[in-house]
């Protein structure tokens, strides 16, 4: 008896240890809600383990993999009504991929309305591919079966009648059907919603937008279209009012009117495009190109090529309304300011709205509140304290210098949007080097302008002397220009991280002029490519194994993914260190197997996995199945050292950010 118990215990331990690394951090429940006799809502409810997160369907390109639903065999059986709706997601900036990502933590819900058009349909099969990450990333795919109740079959055959009835009746209750059974039950809740807490990062993002907009409002005050209006407007209110109190009150109303006008503009932008649509547009290639063109036009206007002005007839009509007096007249005076100063404030407001669009939601509204508050504040303060008007500097050429400086900044910012479009299309036209060269030229020209060595169309007088403030700004811009130059040779440029394309998106990943670049001219073995840090990497297991046998080197088997954040972090932060990089170059043949490679396998190479029972259709499926079958693991990054015959030389490891520990692990494999 003791022997039997011993062997049962040994068997249990063996099974447990062999499967311990199969990770399944997302648990799914499905159900159906009945909307009518022919329409149903398919509900996918995910419970996500603590510390893990999965990604939205709408997470931008260039980052982690989005959730992708595949509604199978729908043609002639059922129609999708609208898009798959999901619960609120959390927006987080990914400093590795340099994009905002949309993710779910703890739980997520997806809902898709379908309309049955074939009475013979008994169930609906839905496939789902998604990525879930913690320290490792896992590519998951699920298949769900939703059973259609028998009770609706007759209604489907008389679809037209059912639709007419549906138009004239409303359902007070909702029918809920389990996806695993045909049992029907009543529920008083028409719709299930998932409550999520607003992400702190979203709050910070909106606060950043507000502060940037507030600062932009103060900058707008220093332009030649707005600055001279401050003493003129305040003097008008103080002189035309019957008492000081009335003058102060009118000036405050004037300032609040400015805020209202710009807030309405923010509401209009959000209302036309929609809160989520703005964000979607900001990640679209064509809109990034449009934003680039718009900012170049704004910059050219500020630099003096032309004036962007609203029709004079608008200003004249508004001026007539301003003569009416009272609160209505004050409101029209504020509108007149917005129209007259548009040539200076328009490009700033336009740029601000473009930036706010990249955040989505109510960001355009928050941006307009910040901008207009800063613009209106001086009018109210100087009305309260008229003596402060004497401390204002006189108008002059310095106002145009502010305007030109804004033009240089907008021109530099414009190329970020062009870079976004190029990165999404992977054209490699605007590489890191070219982007940095453009910025160096722009900021160098700005520095020359500030030093008085460069003149533009609206600079009517030659600069004989520059102020101390202008000198400091010129020195700061010059220092920043010099800071950019080493980036051409591979310097990381942490101060502007996220603006230029990443190092991997360059003509020379190591920076031109670096001696290791010459190795890229060497002939690569069959099936190999240049990977991170110019390492030779095989992406096919058999070809890498054959090369290792021929060269009598150990193999570093690297299960990775194109959209695996921690895989890139390991390459950037650990593989880049000399003590690790030298080992990888001299002692190992690297085989990197991408589990998210979506290239289809040839028909004769597709198969059904003996381990998972799933059909292996893509290259990524193949390498993922290889990892699961051989190592009982499904997370990436995942590293194994093999000998030249493909036999494991040490224990596999996952994400290991400590350089010394990773180096020691590599050396253990060599021994």
Q: What whole-number distance in Å separates Cα of residue 218 and Cα of residue 213?
A: 9
Q: Give the pLDDT confidence score for residue 84 in this predicted structure.
A: 92
Q: Give the pLDDT confidence score for residue 43 in this predicted structure.
A: 93
Helix (H) or strand (E) holding 99: strand 99-105
pLDDT at 196 over 90: no
Q: What whole-number distance in Å separates Cα of residue 435 and Cα of residue 70?
A: 39
> Of 296 and 308, which is predicted with more confidence?
296
Token couple for 388: 């402060």
Q: Give the pLDDT confidence score for residue 14 in this predicted structure.
A: 40
- Mean pLDDT, rounded, of the chain: 75
Report all structural domains of the chain as residue ranges with CATH numbers, in order of start: 21-187 (2.60.40.1250), 204-393 (no CATH), 522-670 (3.40.30.10)
> Of 25 and 247, which is predicted with more confidence?
25
- Determine how many CB atoms are found less than 10 A away from the CB of residue 31: 17
pLDDT at 549 over 80: yes
Q: Give the pLDDT confidence score for residue 373 in this predicted structure.
A: 84
Q: What whole-number distance in Å separates Cα of residue 614 and Cα of residue 531?
A: 31
| Mean pLDDT for the stretch of residues 156-175 | 41
| Mean pLDDT for the stretch of residues 301-307 | 78
Q: What's the pLDDT tens digit per position in 223-276?
A: 656 666 666 666 666 656 666 677 677 777 877 887 887 777 767 766 665 544
Token couple for 341: 């100063």
pLDDT at 113 over 60: yes
The residues pairing with 185 across neighbouring beta strands, listed in sequence order, are 176
* Residue appearing with tokens 């901008």: 371
pLDDT at 520 over 70: no
pLDDT at 438 over 80: yes
Range 242-250 contact pairs with CB under 8 angstroms and sequence separation of 24 or more: 247/383, 248/383, 248/384, 250/330, 250/383
Q: What's the pLDDT tens digit per position in 589-644?
A: 999 998 888 789 999 999 998 888 888 998 988 998 999 999 988 888 999 999 98
Lowest mean pLDDT among 307-321, 536-550, 553-567: 307-321
Most distant CA pair in the chain: distance in Å? 107
Closest CA to 253 of 194, 178, 329, 306: 329
Determine contact, residues 544/555, Cβ cutoff 8 Å: yes
Output phi, psi for 515, to 5 deg.
-60, -30
Q: Give the pLDDT confidence score for residue 390 in this predicted structure.
A: 64
Determine contact, residues 362/206, Cβ cutoff 8 Å: yes
- Determine how many CB atoms are found less than 10 A away from the CB of residue 1: 5
Q: What whole-number distance in Å separates Cα of residue 361 and Cα of residue 527?
A: 46
Helix %, strand %, coil % for the chain, to 5?
50, 20, 30
The residues pairing with 31 across neighbouring beta strands, listed in sequence order, are 43, 178
Asked, as a colleague might, if the bond just before 637 is cis with ω within 30 of 0, I would say: yes
pLDDT at 555 over 90: yes
CA dihedral 221, 346, 326, 328 (to 10 degrees): -160
Cα 577 to Cα 168, 566, 570, 591, distances in angstroms: 70, 16, 10, 19
**What residues have CB less than 8 Å from 32, skipping those under 6 apart?**
40, 41, 42, 43, 146, 147, 176, 177, 178, 179
Q: What's the pLDDT tens digit per position in 386-425?
A: 666 666 666 556 667 877 887 898 898 888 878 877 766 6
């Amino acid at each position: 008896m003791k022997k039997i118990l011993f062997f049962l215990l040994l068997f249990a331990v063996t099974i447990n240890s062999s499967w311990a690394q199969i990770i399944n951090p997302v648990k799914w429940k499905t159900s159906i809600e009945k909307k009518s006799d022919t329409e149903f809502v398919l509900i996918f409810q995910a419970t996500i383990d603590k510390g893990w997160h999965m990604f939205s369907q709408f997470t931008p390109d260039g980052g982690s993999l989005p959730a992708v639903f595949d509604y199978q065999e729908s043609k002639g059986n059922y129609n999708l009504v609208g898009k798959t709706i999901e619960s609120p997601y959390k927006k987080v900036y990914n400093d590795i991929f340099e994009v905002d990502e949309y993710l779910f933590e703890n739980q997520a819900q997806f809902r898709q309305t379908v309309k049955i058009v074939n009475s013979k349909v008994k169930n609906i099969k839905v496939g789902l591919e998604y990525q879930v990450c913690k320290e490792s990333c896992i590519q998951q795919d699920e298949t769900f079966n939703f059973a259609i109740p028998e009770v609706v079959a007759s209604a489907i055959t008389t679809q037209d009648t059912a639709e007419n009835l549906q138009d004239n009746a409303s359902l007070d209750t909702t029918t809920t059907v389990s996806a695993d059974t045909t049992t029907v039950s009543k529920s008083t809740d028409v719709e299930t919603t998932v409550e999520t807490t607003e992400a702190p990062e979203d709050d910070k993002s909106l606060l950043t937008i507000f502060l940037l907009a507030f600062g932009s409002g103060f900058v707008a005050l220093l332009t030649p279209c707005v600055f001279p209006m401050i003493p003129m407007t305040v003097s008008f209110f103080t002189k035309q009012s019957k008492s000081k109190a009335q003058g102060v009150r009118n000036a405050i109303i004037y300032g609040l009117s400015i805020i209202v006008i710009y807030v309405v503009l923010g509401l209009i932008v959000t209302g036309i495009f929609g809160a989520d649509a703005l964000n979607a547009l900001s990640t679209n290639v064509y809109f990034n190109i449009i934003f680039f063109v718009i900012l170049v036009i704004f910059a050219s206007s500020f630099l003096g090529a032309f004036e962007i002005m609203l029709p004079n007839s608008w200003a004249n009509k508004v001026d007539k309304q301003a003569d009416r007096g009272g609160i209505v007249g004050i409101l029209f005076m504020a509108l007149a300011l917005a129209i007259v100063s548009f040539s200076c404030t328009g490009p700033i407001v336009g740029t601000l709205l473009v930036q706010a669009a990249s955040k989505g939601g109510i960001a355009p509204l928050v941006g307009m509140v910040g901008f207009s508050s800063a613009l209106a504040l001086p009018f109210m303060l100087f009305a309260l304290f008229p003596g402060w008007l004497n401390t204002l500097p006189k108008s002059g050429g310095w106002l145009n210098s502010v305007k030109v400086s804004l033009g240089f900044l907008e021109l530099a910012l414009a190329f970020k949007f062009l870079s976004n479009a190029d990165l999404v299309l992977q054209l490699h036209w605007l590489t890191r080097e070219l982007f940095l060269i453009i910025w160096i030229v722009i900021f160098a020209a700005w520095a020359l302008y500030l030093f008085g060595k460069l003149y533009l169309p609206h600079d009517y007088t030659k600069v004989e002397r520059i102020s101390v403030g202008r000198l400091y700004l010129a020195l700061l811009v010059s220092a920043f220009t010099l800071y950019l130059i080493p980036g051409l040779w591979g310097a990381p440029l942490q101060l502007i991280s996220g603006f230029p394309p990443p190092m991997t998106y360059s003509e020379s990943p190591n920076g031109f002029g670096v001696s290791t670049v010459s190795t890229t001219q060497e002939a690569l073995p069959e099936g190999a490519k240049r990977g991170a840090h110019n390492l030779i990497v095989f992406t096919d297991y058999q070809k890498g194994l054959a090369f290792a046998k021929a060269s009598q080197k150990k193999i570093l088997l690297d299960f990775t993914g194109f959209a695996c954040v921690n895989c890139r972090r390991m390459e950037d932060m650990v593989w880049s260190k000399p003590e690790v990089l030298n080992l990888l170059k001299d002692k190992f043949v690297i085989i990197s197997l991408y589990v998210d490679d979506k290239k289809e396998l040839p028909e004769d190479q597709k198969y059904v996995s003996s381990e998972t029972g799933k059909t292996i259709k893509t290259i990524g499926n193949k390498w993922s199945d290889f990892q699961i079958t051989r190592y009982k693991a499904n997370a990436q990054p995942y590293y194994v050292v093999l000998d030249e015959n493909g036999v494991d030389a040490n224990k596999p490891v996952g994400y290991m950010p400590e350089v010394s520990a990773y180096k020691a692990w590599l050396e253990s494999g060599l021994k």
